[in-house]
Structure 1
């Protein structure tokens, strides 16, 4: 169940689970995405943390305000305001795709608020030759642009997010489709997410990059700019896995992240 926070010019929806050191979870930009749809399955493994699971502006139960700046920049400032409203001075940030970009932006602009960063195939840093877009982004932008999105289009999108298509269950497709109809974003296509590349060197937080080797949305080849741009960054690549690492390889993901948040290197294995 979500609650809402006043962050000045809008409301931000969030769920809070567990007690301990704070971890802020930031979801991707895919149609129908919400904080809990992205991370609800991971939270039982993090019950000894205070988990703040955010619906970013325009997704889930968070309304979209009028925007005059890139999405990543706008969302990052509202997440910081939400942290302040919740009495959180400093937290670990965990973000996938668009949410990973939002986490990086916070670490760039407000380094004092970030302990450790976990980024799953984050956006915001493009190769010099993009576009053309990977097929996953083409499907995402196509769904956003549709006047009346269809369930069949959602099913195609969800199946592209996982290597093992049996994980693209009918229940998951229905959940994402219904959520997308409630909060279908009205954005230019492709959206103006913003470019984080020039500021990668500003990230001071220890950073764990987690990538699915077969990702068709934010390809593994895009990792090199981030890995070399952030001084204290390490990369773990999971085979037979696409874009939704935290969903498709949840046991390994949970183990890697828990080890990293404790301050150690991200060791392979299941936990």
Structure 2
């Protein structure tokens, strides 16, 4: 009956994750698990979050204990129906341990390694995962990168081919910006990216500045957008935390970066020292301060947002917002009158991290 046994393993959240710490189980042996249910809290060196179950059935065995640090791919638990004997589960666990090599078969490595596309003379970094269903392109926000989607990619890849790119000036992409550093210029990069990968049309998922970029791409080429999925997007109203935008571009202080990053989350404990260290390393790369300053100038007119975007005819959209967003007010969520709007409680600007399960459900729908 070994074919009835399913495993729960340490996830790989982001390309650099090698191990994770078990902070605590949210379910108990004997519980019936549902697909997508949060089952165990995991902490990596970058961020903490809840692992969602990818399987359904009865949790028969818990192997990873609280505070235990295990490599990516390690066995955390076993799910199996009642007719599978304890001896068969013991044999499964023994066989897994005998064949497990840390660093091999850890899930996202092969599909999510960084690749590059040449677009208008710039090298644009991206990852791709999954090969089922229509293409879905993830566009991060100002100062972010493709790893902002680390809690979303695995789930979305079950039903889509998922591309997560680094916009110019960000992540592993070239730091030189298009002449228009605002959403319209970045939209041309996204459309060029789709051209380079042979994507005639795709779902566009944009967060914050990436949301404005996705909206601008839909305005420029509506026939290439299957649907817009806008997560706390810029460009729908005047109000914005301009102090955050300018401060992030200007500072090279670890303390100040930590203070600014805390505004992104409803739960400020999400901002780990490792996260701030990564931001600091990014800020110190050649060309990054200039790129961020140029984007900030394109985004802001004084303390207000410069652009006011609208949904082009014939393009449908979903808008997702964290109720406790401190960067762009949730009141903007209803600006696109024909869009389906979802406001999620207890989440801030990084709602796709803080409410990943619900965001994944909405995107999957």
Normalized against structure 1, the TM-score is what? Answer: 0.83
Q: Which runs of 5+ in 2 are unaligned?
A: 1-112, 301-305
The equivalent of 1:239 in structure 2 is: 345
- Deviation of 1:171 after TM superposition, in Å, equals 2.4
Tell me the secondary structure at the aligned position of residue 240 of structure 1. coil
Matched, 1:27 2:140: yes
Alpha carbons of 1:109 and 1:160: their partners in 2 closer, same or farther (altered >3 Å)?
same
1:123 to 234, 239, 259: 234
- Deviation of 1:247 after TM superposition, in Å, equals 0.5
1:138 to 243, 254, 258: 243
Q: How many residue pairs align between the two structures? A: 243
Alpha carbons of 1:73 and 1:180: their partners in 2 closer, same or farther (altered >3 Å)?
same
Aligned pairs (5 A) from 1:1-271: 1-20=113-132, 21-30=134-143, 33-36=144-147, 38-48=148-158, 49-65=160-176, 67-127=178-238, 130=239, 133-134=240-241, 137-146=242-251, 149-182=252-285, 184-186=288-290, 187-188=293-294, 190-193=296-299, 196-197=307-308, 200-225=310-335, 227-228=336-337, 231=338, 233-259=339-365
Tell me the secondary structure at the aligned position of residue 124 of structure 1. coil
- Deviation of 1:8 after TM superposition, in Å, equals 1.8
Q: Which runs of 5+ in 1 are unaligned?
A: 260-271
Pick which of 171-180 and 237-246 moved more: 171-180
Q: Radius of gyration: which is bigger?
A: 2
Whether the aligned pair in 2 keeps the contact of 1:59 and 1:185 (CA below 8 Å) is no
Distance 2:311 2:131 in 1: 32
- Deviation of 1:145 after TM superposition, in Å, equals 2.1
Tell me the secondary structure at the aligned position of residue 163 of structure 1. coil
Structure (1/2) with the larger helix percentage: 1
Alpha carbons of 1:88 and 1:16: their partners in 2 closer, same or farther (altered >3 Å)?
same
- Deviation of 1:168 after TM superposition, in Å, equals 1.6
Structure (1/2) with the larger strand percentage: 2
- Deviation of 1:164 after TM superposition, in Å, equals 1.2
Distance 2:210 2:351 in 1: 13
Higher relative contact order (CA 8 A, sep 6+): 1
- Deviation of 1:189 after TM superposition, in Å, equals 7.8
Pick which of 41-50 and 51-60 moved more: 41-50
Whether the aligned pair in 2 keeps the contact of 1:145 and 1:189 (CA below 8 Å) is no
Distance 2:294 2:307 in 1: 19
Give per-residue Cα distances to partners, 1:187-231, cap 9 Å, x unaligned: 24842138553x514253221100111101011122332x22xx3
Q: CA RMSD in A?
A: 1.9
Alpha carbons of 1:67 and 1:189: their partners in 2 closer, same or farther (altered >3 Å)?
closer
Give per-residue Cα distances to partners, 1:211-263, cap 9 Å, x unaligned: 111101011122332x22xx3x111001111100000111111111111xxxx
